[in-house]
Amino acid sequence: MKIIVGLGNPTSQYVGTRHNIGFAVIDELSKEYNIAVDTKKHKALCGKGMIAGEKVILAKPQTYMNLSGESVRALVDYYKVTNEDVIIVYDDISLDVGDIRIRQKGSAGGHNGIKNIIAHLNTQEFPRVKVGVGEKPKGQDLVNYVLGHFSKGEMEQIQSGIEMAAKSIAVMVEDGIQKAMNDFNGKNK
């Protein structure tokens, strides 16, 4: 079993923002694999289904970004999975809009949601898919930037990134993270 967690903020005011790209990838997987993500438990909206013959839980934490670790910890404890069976999907301002990067482990890199997950899991070793939302313009506040929406010009790129992230997760589930990294890292657009 794999638990795929997309990071974001609940409530309609955050729909479509850069910081909610993890939710958008979960929505794409939900649509692609016909998995309803509508059950409230483990401090998240969850859905159970199958990807490539493997049981998966899709989850969108409802704790707000900075407390995402509470939901991830609850999911890991309940389903008794290892950290390697958890895939975290989130936004990255160091990647161009729509680019993705898959990692087996790593630091939070300043991302508060990841910081909180690392604190709750007590490790940096868990698979993750980072989706680029572009670098913050000079002089703009970081919080305002990540809570802002994509420009019309960025919409095609970010949609492509969401679809590519969903495909990469399916490869991770079916063939493992190494194959996904080989197939998707550095091959954007």
Task: Indicate which residues carry an active-site annotation.
Answer: 19
What are the strands of the beta sheet with 86-92, ordered from one edge? 39-41, 44-51, 54-61, 2-6, 86-92, 128-132, 100-103
Q: Which of 68, 66, 67 is nearest to 88 (CA)?
A: 68
DSSP-derived letter for residue 19 is: G
Interacting residues of 60 by C-beta distance below 8 A, sequence separation 6+: 5, 6, 8, 10, 22, 23, 26, 37, 44, 45, 46
φ and ψ at 125, to 5 degrees? Answer: -95, 90
Residue 82: φ, ψ to 5°: -85, 165
Q: Which of 76, 82, 106, 84 has its CA nearest to residue 185?
A: 106
